[in-house]
């Protein structure tokens, strides 16, 4: 009758089956809980902003999705001045500027939302993905301890997620700026040098030297100094000693070192273990708006995944929207990219496809009321429970239970119900035992605890 | 230097300040938890679908936002074949059809996501809003008990949200179809009659009679019968007796009554109190695809808010995407519309603007480490805590604490720290007491518990 539409995946717009989605949701909940443990308040901005807001900072217009209505009444313009946000930083800047008189500063916010980028979809590139951001925004000032607190929260999150060993790399762009100035690299070139320097790990020393000479006009000797300085890999204390020995070169450099020392001391006071953070002069974060501390986070055993969490300090969040100086520090976890890779690497395990551990099966149609009541009884005790309603043999119901990944099946035929009892089948072990119906919630809780 | 952009709200795209957002998040969490207690698995589909998928069911094209890239390379087409979804039912249909071989049926899913509709923004009309949907989808068949379980979950949610007395109105469209057929209203007109009937409460008996006569060609007598039948307001048992007395009129009617009886019995077995649901023949749900049970939910004290949660049974979820028969039952809470009205009505109270009850103040710059450690100590005991880092007098810090809505402030100067003690100030009562630092987490938990 009607034409069938064959639904197919849309490239760059990921979608999970229920078991993966449940896992993803648990990770989101962990992140949310950690942010809240430190008193960060959630905010949520609309998915859209005005086009002029989004392009204020020079967002890439080819990557921004604009909205227009699919149809319009005659004479009506279907276009809008709206487009989907491509990150959560521009919306934050707009939000803080707009409500600055209603917010208390330092403003500590987290924001977990999807963002959209109309990129050519390549492997691993998403057009729709989650960002999990925290930022602290000051009015006029913002303590450098914030630069230590933010990565300490990230440490807690990844530690609790059990994603294996990871290192938060820390640097301060003032150190790089001071050092580049000392080498005679003009200020106007520094951002480009930093952008190249960010590629050190990817392209290696030799090619970076060549590129610094070709594109930045450095001499081979200066390029060598730059790389030797950036690629210096020693312990945090050795690095601080090394940097301290160079603070005479200029004030900018010395300021960066002083800031970095405060951040390192703060990380230690906040119980971040020494092997979980590393001063790394080689990281610079390409973006122009970071002005001091910068971070990247890598998985020790999977460096190929790249940075799983990045951010830094910026002097002025919302210069396009307000005259007020609003310095901030923030960090962002790119969860959509991260989770599938952690699953692939076997670090995260996809579990069951149901949120309930218990399935109450239906054996006798005349006993449906009892099955419903067993479900209610378990739920009232806080045990998530599904009751199977459909007409199906027990074998089919147990297959359903296995497919979805329930832990326990409750089985009650005439015989059991006549004695006010039920059978509990552990679907992981195959064990079956009979229990008094009255005590079922307690019994189930015990078995679940034991099998966890 | 740069041109300032004055950020302003975008009509129809709501956005909360932190305190409201925290409240909204708590409600979302309650809903999510209730859905999971019944074993519903979360799914999340992309914000976009292909245009042909979205318009397959005849979605209103003027309300659909299509995506195009803001700019394109020369010769490149900035348009896409994508548009933002306007509900979660079409995406569910596409999802189930696409993954039907990987899902176990009955497929129980919940989905909490924003949807977008490019409507003219009127008061209370949103262009971006959350829907919280649950649906159970069967393959071929689906037990009628599902039609009872779904509203029983909704009962639990609203009960726990403490939104005051509410009534879930239940009806079955087969009863209406059978009755209309009995009155000689042709099948082709029934959907339109139902659409008019849905307005009964809004426009009243007299105008509805006039409209049924004018638009549907009913005689005054038939229109009178229709309205008398629909506006019959008695207890559930009286209604069932009344309906049973009419089952001779035709099979369709009798089938609807039988289904309704099963649903009512299921609701009772699932402990939904008698005053929380009501058979109401006057509700029909305008949408064409409901085929049996239908629901609406109203707040007894605020009927003007309209239905806060609606849904029903449909014979075939995904007829545009698959030949397979996929019957389902679902319900949707329109939370974005609901929450601000519940706040306005004083039913929901906006609380504090921080997720942490405790603020550790900073009195002595030289003691910062201690303040950080107090924060860590409390967090490790599970107490969400913010440490104030900025240089500010205590008075200013306490004003900040009041503005954000902290419950307790921890205050420790040289004197307290010298005795390994701290002061705890209850910001709600003004009470201040001194405690041993070592026992602080326990002390704080006790005070928080007492002041909750």
Specify the length of chain A in residues.
452
Are residues B39 and A354, on separate chains, in Cβ contact within 8 Å?
A: yes
Cα of A432 to nearest chain B Cα, Å:
22
Q: Which residues of A219-241 are buried (b: 16+ CB within 10 A; e: fewer)?
A: eeebbebbbebbeeeeebeebbe
Name the token pair of B13. Answer: 């795209």
Between the alpha carbon of residue B415 and those of residues B348, B360, B423, B430, the distances in Å are 43, 16, 10, 21
- Residue B64 is nearest to which of A69, A321, A369, comparing CB atoms? A69
Name the token pair of A359. Answer: 């399935």
Are residues A15 and B46, on separate chains, in Cβ contact within 8 Å?
A: yes
Tell me how far apart the alpha carbons of residues A66 and B66 are, in angstroms, rounded to a whole number. Answer: 8
Q: pTM for the whole thing?
A: 0.95
In this structure, what DSSP letter does residue B40 have?
P
- Residue B10 is nearest to which of A46, A99, A138, comparing CB atoms? A46
Specify the length of chain B in residues.
452
Tell me how far apart the alpha carbons of residues A134 and A311 are, in angstroms, rounded to a whole number. Answer: 9
User: Backbone phi, then psi, for B69, in 5-degree steps?
Assistant: -75, 145
Q: Which of B385, B371, B347 is nearest to B437 (CA)?
A: B371
Chain B stretch 126-185, residues whose beta carbon is closer than 8 A to a beta carbon of chain A:
128, 138, 141-143, 145-146, 149
**Strand pairing of B408-411 and B358-360?**
parallel
The Cβ of residue B246 has, within 10 Å, a number of other Cβ atoms equal to: 16
**Could you identify the residue written with the tokens 């149609």?**
A365
Residue of B nearest to A96 (CA): B7
Are residues B109 and A84, on separate chains, in Cβ contact within 8 Å?
A: no
pLDDT of residue B350: 96
Tell me how far apart the alpha carbons of residues A304 and B425 are, in angstroms, rounded to a whole number. Answer: 50
Cα Rg, chain A, nearest whole Å: 28
| Ordered structural domains, chain B, with CATH | 18-67+77-344 (3.30.930.10), 358-451 (3.40.50.800)
Tell me how far apart the alpha carbons of residues B318 and B452 are, in angstroms, rounded to a whole number. Answer: 48
Instruction: Identify whether the C-beta of residue A447 lies closer than 8 Å to the C-beta of residue A426.
Output: yes
Cα of B420 to nearest chain A Cα, Å:
18
Are residues A384 and B98, on separate chains, in Cβ contact within 8 Å?
A: no
Please tell me if residue A421 touches chain B, with a CB cutoff of 8 Å.
Answer: no
Judge if ipTM > 0.85: yes
Exposed / middle / buried, residue A171 (Cβ in 10 Å: 0-12, 13-18, 19+):
buried
Could you tell me which residues come within 8 angstroms of residue A415 by beta carbon, excluding any fewer than 6 positions away? none
Q: Which of A420, A143, A428, A147 is nearest to A277 (CA)?
A: A147
Instruction: Identify whether the C-beta of residue B284 lies closer than 8 Å to the C-beta of residue B171.
Output: yes
Please tell me if residue A49 touches chain B, with a CB cutoff of 8 Å.
Answer: yes
Are residues A99 and B404, on separate chains, in Cβ contact within 8 Å?
A: no
Tell me how far apart the alpha carbons of residues A420 and B51 are, in angstroms, rounded to a whole number. Answer: 56
Q: Name every chain B residue with its beta carbon within 8 A of the beta carbon of A264.
A: none
Q: Which of B27, B65, B386, B441 to mutate to test the interface with A (most CBs of A within 10 A)?
A: B65
Tell me how far apart the alpha carbons of residues A226 and A212 are, in angstroms, rounded to a whole number. Answer: 9
Distance, C-alpha A55 to centroid of its chain: 24
Q: Name every chain A residue with its beta carbon within 8 A of the beta carbon of B43.
A: 16, 18, 21
Are residues A379 and B38, on separate chains, in Cβ contact within 8 Å?
A: yes
Tell me how far apart the alpha carbons of residues A48 and A82 are, in angstroms, rounded to a whole number. Answer: 6
B2 band by pLDDT with thresholds 50, 70 and 90: low
Q: Name every chain B residue with its beta carbon within 8 A of the beta carbon of A404.
A: 104
Name the token pair of B29. Answer: 């969490």
- Provide the residue-wise pLDDT of chain A in tens; the chain has 452 residues: 456 888 889 999 999 999 999 999 999 999 999 999 999 999 999 999 999 999 987 778 889 999 999 988 888 888 889 999 999 999 999 999 999 999 999 999 999 999 999 877 565 689 999 999 999 999 999 999 999 999 999 999 999 999 999 999 999 999 999 999 999 998 888 878 878 877 887 888 899 999 999 988 899 999 999 989 988 999 999 999 999 999 999 999 999 999 999 999 999 999 999 999 999 998 877 656 799 999 999 999 998 888 999 999 999 998 889 999 999 999 999 999 899 989 998 999 999 999 999 999 999 999 999 999 999 999 999 999 999 999 999 999 999 999 999 999 999 999 999 999 999 999 999 999 999 999 999 999 999 999 88
Please tell me if residue B452 touches chain A, with a CB cutoff of 8 Å.
Answer: no
Four-CA torsion B230, B233, B237, B243, nearest 10 degrees: -20
pLDDT of residue B93: 96
**What confidence tens digit (pLDDT) does each residue in B27-79 have?**
999 999 999 999 999 999 999 999 999 998 777 888 999 999 998 888 888 88
Tell me how far apart the alpha carbons of residues A72 and A77 are, in angstroms, rounded to a whole number. Answer: 6
Instruction: Identify whether the C-beta of residue B4 lies closer than 8 Å to the C-beta of residue A320.
Output: yes
Q: Which of A389, A392, A396, A427 to mutate to test the interface with B (most CBs of B within 10 A)?
A: A389
Tell me how far apart the alpha carbons of residues A232 and A281 are, in angstroms, rounded to a whole number. Answer: 7
Are residues B13 and A46, on separate chains, in Cβ contact within 8 Å?
A: yes
Residue of A nearest to B145 (CA): A389
Strand order in the sheet with A408-411: A385-387, A358-360, A408-411, A421-426, A432-436
Instruction: Identify whether the C-beta of residue A409 lies closer than 8 Å to the C-beta of residue A425.
Output: yes
**What confidence tens digit (pLDDT) does each residue in A63-114 have?**
999 999 998 888 888 888 999 999 999 999 999 999 999 999 999 999 999 9
- Assign 3-state DSSP to chain B and report helix, strand, coil percentages, each to 5: 45, 20, 40
Between the alpha carbon of residue A252 and those of residues A182, A226, A238, A300, B303, the distances in Å are 10, 17, 21, 32, 66
Please tell me if residue B270 touches chain A, with a CB cutoff of 8 Å.
Answer: yes
Please tell me if residue A72 touches chain B, with a CB cutoff of 8 Å.
Answer: yes
Please tell me if residue A449 touches chain B, with a CB cutoff of 8 Å.
Answer: no
Are residues A376 and B266, on separate chains, in Cβ contact within 8 Å?
A: no
Please tell me if residue A45 touches chain B, with a CB cutoff of 8 Å.
Answer: yes
Q: Name every chain A residue with its beta carbon within 8 A of the beta carbon of B42.
A: 18, 21-22, 25, 355
Cα of A399 to nearest chain B Cα, Å:
10
Are residues A145 and B372, on separate chains, in Cβ contact within 8 Å?
A: yes
In this structure, what DSSP letter does residue B438 have?
G
Q: Residue A69 in 3-state DSSP?
A: strand
Are residues B4 and A52, on separate chains, in Cβ contact within 8 Å?
A: no
């Amino acid at each position: 009758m009607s034409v069938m539409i064959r639904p197919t995946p849309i490239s760059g717009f990921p979608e999970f089956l229920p078991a993966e989605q449940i896992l993803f949701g648990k990770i989101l909940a962990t992140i949310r809980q950690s942010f809240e443990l430190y008193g960060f308040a959630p905010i949520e901005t609309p998915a859209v902003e005005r086009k002029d807001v989004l392009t204020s900072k020079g967002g890439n217009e080819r990557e921004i999705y604009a909205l227009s209505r699919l149809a319009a009444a005659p004479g009506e313009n279907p276009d809008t001045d709206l487009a989907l946000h491509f990150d959560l930083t521009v919306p934050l800047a707009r939000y803080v500027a707009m409500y600055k008189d209603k917010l208390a500063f330092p403003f500590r916010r987290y924001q977990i939302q999807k963002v959209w980028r109309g990129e050519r979809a390549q492997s691993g590139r998403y057009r729709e993905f989650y960002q999990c951001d925290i930022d602290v925004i000051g009015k006029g000032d913002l303590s450098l301890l914030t630069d230590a607190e933010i990565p300490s929260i990230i440490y807690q999150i990844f530690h609790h997620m059990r994603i294996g060993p990871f290192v938060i790399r820390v640097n301060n762009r003032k150190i790089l700026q001071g050092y580049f100035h000392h080498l005679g690299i003009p200020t106007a070139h520094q951002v480009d040098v930093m952008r190249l320097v960010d590629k050190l790990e990817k392209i290696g020393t030799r090619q970076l030297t060549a590129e610094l000479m070709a594109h930045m006009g450095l001499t081979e000797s200066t390029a060598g100094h730059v790389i030797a300085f950036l690629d210096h890999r020693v312990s945090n204390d050795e690095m601080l000693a090394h940097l301290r020995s160079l603070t005479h070169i200029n004030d900018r450099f010395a300021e960066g070192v002083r800031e970095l020392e405060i951040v390192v001391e703060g990380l230690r006071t906040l119980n971040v273990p020494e092997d979980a953070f590393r001063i790394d002069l080689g990281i610079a974060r390409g973006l122009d708006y970071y002005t001091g501390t910068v971070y990247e986070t890598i998985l020790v055993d999977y460096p190929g995944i790249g940075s799983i969490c990045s951010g830094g300090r910026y002097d002025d969040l919302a210069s396009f929207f307000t005259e007020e100086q609003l310095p901030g520090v923030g960090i962002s976890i790119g969860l959509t990219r991260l989770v599938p890779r952690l699953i692939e690497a076997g670090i995260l395990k996809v579990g069951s496809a149901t949120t309930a551990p218990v399935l109450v099966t239906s054996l006798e149609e005349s006993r449906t009321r009892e099955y419903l009541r067993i479900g209610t009884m378990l739920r009232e005790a806080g045990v998530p429970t599904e009751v199977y309603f459909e007409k199906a043999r027990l074998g089919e119901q147990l297959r359903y239970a296995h497919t979805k990944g329930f832990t326990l099946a409750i089985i009650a035929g005439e015989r059991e119900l006549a004695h006010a009892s039920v059978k509990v089948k552990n679907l992981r072990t195959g064990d079956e035992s009979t229990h008094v119906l009255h005590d079922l919630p307690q019994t189930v809780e015990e078995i679940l605890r034991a099998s966890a």
